[in-house]
Chains A and B, each alone.
Chain A
C-alpha cells in the first residue's frame, strides 16, 4: 500500500520560504509511471495544483506560482520536496503531496496534508 506523508514547519513568517517534504513508502519514487505533485487548499476553499516532478527531475509548475516555487526529488531517500519563497498570508493553506498517474492522468494517492500558517 502506497503511503505519502508531508512534513515541515507549521508556521512560517511573511517573506520567508516555506519548505515541505513528502516521504513516500510502499513504492519506489523511481517508478516511471507516476509524477509526484504538490497541491494546496486554503481553509474552507478549493484545491490549487502547485506543480509536479518526474523522478528524472523534470518539473512543471502552475504559472501563478512559478516564480516562487521549486520542487525537487531525492530518489535515494524516496522523497520529494516543495520550496515556496516570499510567502504571504495568502499562502496559508493545507498542503498535500500526491501521486499522479501518468496513464489516465489523475491523483491516485494523497498524503494526509499539513497545515502551514504564514504569520509573524
Chain B
C-alpha cells in the first residue's frame, strides 16, 4: 500500500495567516492527489483534486501544488470557518489511501 504522511499533525494559526500543510507519498503518485476538509460531525468535502485543481465552489484562498511524492495544501489567508481537519488522498493505485489528517485550529 502507498503510505501518505501528513505534516504537521496539528497546527494553530491566527486569522489572516498563511497556512501550509504537506503530504508525502511513500512512492510516486504522479498528480493523483486530492485534499479534503472535514469539520466535526460532518463528511469530508473535497477542496483540491489532481493535486492543484480547485473544486467548484471552494474559496480561492485554498490552493494545492506538487507532483510525484511531495504535495502541499495552502490557505492564503486563514478564516475562522477553516477550522477543520484536512486529509490528503492518493488515487494512483489500489488500495486508495488517506493521510492521517492535520487538525487546524485558530489561535
Residues in chain A within 8 A of chain B (CB atoms):
46-49, 60-64, 96, 98, 101, 104-108, 110-113
Contact = CB atoms under 8 A, between A and B. Distances in A.
Contacts of B89: 47, 106-107
B45 A110 contact: yes
18 contacts: A46-B98, A46-B101, A49-B95, A61-B95, A62-B94, A62-B95, A63-B94, A64-B95, A104-B49, A104-B53, A105-B34, A105-B49, A105-B50, A105-B91, A106-B50, A106-B91, A112-B42, A113-B43
Interface of B: 1, 32, 34, 36, 42-46, 49-50, 53, 55, 87, 89, 91, 94-101
A49 B91 CA distance: 11
Name which of B32, B43, B94 has the most chain A CB atoms within 10 A of its CB.
Answer: B43
A7 B3 CA distance: 31
